[in-house]
Copies of this chain bind each other. A is one copy, B any other.
């Protein structure tokens, strides 16, 4: 016989819930991994994404938004986006500056600093857009499968990672804590490309496929550089000071000069220099510098080839 849904699913036992609440709250008491609690209200990922969405819309207008725009009247929506971005960025900056300062006194000037930095970063957007045009061109020319530039903008993960990196880097160079890293990890998540916001990257940069690419904090990349999936520009070891403490910010990642191509799976470690125009082959593992115009390929690996027995 068909019966009615019965009573509500039995709620969890009150004693059990009470006990769990107590244990969790006790665990929060040291403040580790607890946001918002003491008035320190760090950015949440959703806020970072909203901001990024608007900034990317300003760089490549029309790709995310539903409403049509005409060239004639687009400046109103541009202005609107800029003002909204200014407010949001100022607010986020203020919160991370305050967290870092740990000064919550009436007299801190985090707010003024936040507004200044927000203004500077927004003022860089036209510059970033101009550089991005060279990135688009590089992808279009570098990939035989690319039919036109719109397709590159719409769908290439490499381009998306670089767009976000250039924004994050503008924040990083102004010593903004946390936000640049949250941005680059977002790019990492949606593209598999992990570029530390500290990396310096030139014009006309192209990453094809991209999954597994890692570019470290002190890497420097010239113009017209092209990377394939799985390339690592990493650190060999971490320089330490006399006391054995890691020296933060010390140069420890490669410098890639102009016009270099690095094929899939290559690993370049340490503060080496890959000379202008070099070509690094797939799967190469490199921990020393190269002269300009060098072509390095992995030696033919020894393969064992055998005829499979008939089952």
Are A28 and B144 neighbours in the complex by a CB distance under 8 Å? no
Across the interface, which residues of B come within 8 angstroms of A59, CB to CB?
A: 33
CB-CB under 8 A from A224, the residues of chain B are none
Residues of the B chain whose Cβ atoms lie less than 8 Å from the Cβ of A189: 157, 190-191
Closest residue of chain B to A35 (Cβ to Cβ) is: B62
Partner of A35, one of B7, B60, B83, B181: B60
Give Cα A131–Cα B42 distance, bound, in whole angstroms. Answer: 23
Instruction: Please give, as numbers and ranges, the residues of chain B lying within 8 Å of A144 by CB-CB distance.
Output: 238, 246, 248
Residues of B within 8 A of A123 (CB): 16, 20
Q: How large is the interface on A (under 10, 10 to 19, 20 to 34, 35 or more residues)?
A: 35 or more
Chain B's nearest CB lies how many Å from the CB of A205? 15
Residues of chain B contacted by A229 (CB below 8 angstroms): 194, 212, 214, 232
Q: A45-B64, A122-B20, A133-B33 are in contact. Are A11 and B73 (CB under 8 A)?
A: yes
Q: Is A206 an interface residue (CB 8 A)?
A: no
User: A244-267 toward B: CB 8 Å interface, digit per residue (1/0)?
Assistant: 001010000000000000001101
Contact residues of A between 142 and 167, Cβ < 8 Å to B: 144-145, 147-151, 153-157
Minimum CB–CB distance from A210 to chain B (whole Å) comes to: 8
Closest to A113 in B: B4
Q: Is the CB of A104 within 8 A of B6?
A: yes
Residue on B with the closest CB to A310? B293
Asked whether A220 is an interface residue with its Cβ less than 8 Å from the other chain, the reply is no
The residues of B that contact A77 with a CB separation of less than 8 Å are: 76, 80, 83
Taken together as a complex, chains A and B put the C-alpha atoms of A91 and B68 apart, in Å, by: 13
**5 shortest interchain CB distances as A-B pairs:** A76-B79, A35-B62, A7-B39, A299-B302, A11-B70
10 additional contacts (CB under 8 A) given A17-B83, A212-B212? A4-B98, A4-B110, A4-B114, A12-B82, A27-B129, A33-B132, A37-B61, A144-B238, A296-B304, A296-B305
